[in-house]
Structure 1
Amino acid sequence: MNEERERGSTLFEKRCENSMPAGLSGRAAVPSAVMKRAYEEKLKLCDALEKIADALPNVDRLKCLGTANAIVPLLRNIHQYEETIIFPAYEAATGGGNANLASIRRLRAEHVEDECFAGEVTEILLAIGHGEAVGNAEAVGFMLRGFFESMRRHIAFEREHVLPAIGIIDQG
């Protein structure tokens, strides 16, 4: 599991490095650029999941495998960055008021829920990608939609409330 987290971390950091101006990378990167890239990656993942859900039961098995392999490492790395860089900056910027601390606790809890849900989505997509028949396309579609809509809401909340409080404007 740690190896998977490290691999995801490396993938995200490399993607961030590739999108950064010269001299900026990884944890030293400007948080606004890192978060912009993180949201782009998460929204690409949401779009891929939506396309899979729309195509059920006749899906591209390779697309399922590729998406399945990206979900957990990507989310874990983005969540780690948010929890170590973004959330402490938000707490400091807002003075740690009760409402703001409650929001951060909720966002951290959502991270745990998202990672658990991501594991379930990954299992389904891997099974489909390896040739298992889609038994109940409606249920699988509902599961995928629940997952990516939750991620989109999480991103929207952070864009509207967390990032502006720490001086990052991300219009999306």
Structure 2
Amino acid sequence: MPADANLNTHALAQLERNHEALMALCLVLEEIAFALPSDVDRDACLRASQIMIPLLQQTHQVEERILFPDFDRNAGSHFAATLIERLKAEHRCDVLTCEEVSLTLKAMAERPDIPPEQAVRYMLQGFLESVRRHVLSEKLIIEALLVAEAEGREVLA
């Protein structure tokens, strides 16, 4: 999709699917964190480690190519650009953290000796809370765009 694509039904459906998959991933990560140290589901760790990076990157790509430009065009404020840059910076941080979490989960799936339980628990909980907050923020942006469009006004007007 081109960078200037509008937020349409197809893009909304794709974002919704990705957001649901990210929230489901958060539940899996939460279960892994609570199961530490003795009841680690190695299959769940491996599956999560394999899907999390592509899922997060695909979601970010749709957001940055469609959602953010549409928000910028329809916001009616110079603050939109600042907000978008902040969200893109969060995307970069999320990807780096996701890579670390993925490597940790892969190690937990492959070896019986897991890294320090408390450190892994904090890592997982920090990441999943960040993802949940990010998904909620972007759902609020989508809602604001849809309401503003229905009312024929700018988002931040």
TM-score (norm 1): 0.77
2-side partners of 1:29 and 1:164: how far apart?
A: 13
Question: What amino acid is aligned across from residue 40 of structure 1 in structure 2?
Answer: E
Which string of whole-angstrom CA distances, capped at 9 and with x for unpartnered residues, describes residues 88-136 of structure 1?
11111113x2221111111101111000000000110000000241231
2-side partners of 1:89 and 1:28: how far apart?
A: 10
Q: CA RMSD in A?
A: 1.9
Confirm or deny that 1:126 pairs with 2:106: yes
Question: What amino acid is aligned across from residue 72 of structure 2 in structure 1?
Answer: E
Confirm or deny that 1:166 pairs with 2:154: no
Match among 17, 31, 36 for residue 51 of structure 1: 31
- Unaligned stretches of 5+ residues in structure 1: 1-26
Question: What amino acid is aligned across from residue 77 of structure 1 in structure 2?
Answer: Q
Runs of 4+ in 1 over 6 A off after TM superposition: none
2-side partners of 1:48 and 1:92: how far apart?
A: 36
Indicate conservation of the 8 Å contact 2:11/2:62, yes or no. Answer: no
Match among 107, 114, 119 for residue 87 of structure 2: 107
Indicate conservation of the 8 Å contact 1:64/1:126, yes or no. Answer: yes
Which string of whole-angstrom CA distances, capped at 9 and with x for unpartnered residues, describes residues 39-63 of structure 1?
1011011111001001011211111
Larger CA Rg, structure 1 vs 2: 2
Partner of 1:146: 126
Aligned residues: 141
Between stretches 142-151 and 31-40, larger displacement belongs to 31-40
Match among 88, 96, 115 for residue 116 of structure 1: 96
The residue matched to 2:146 in structure 1 has which SS? Answer: coil
Question: What amino acid is aligned across from residue 166 of structure 1 in structure 2?
Answer: L
2-side partners of 1:51 and 1:83: how far apart?
A: 30
TM-score (norm 2): 0.84
Provide the identity percentage. Answer: 37
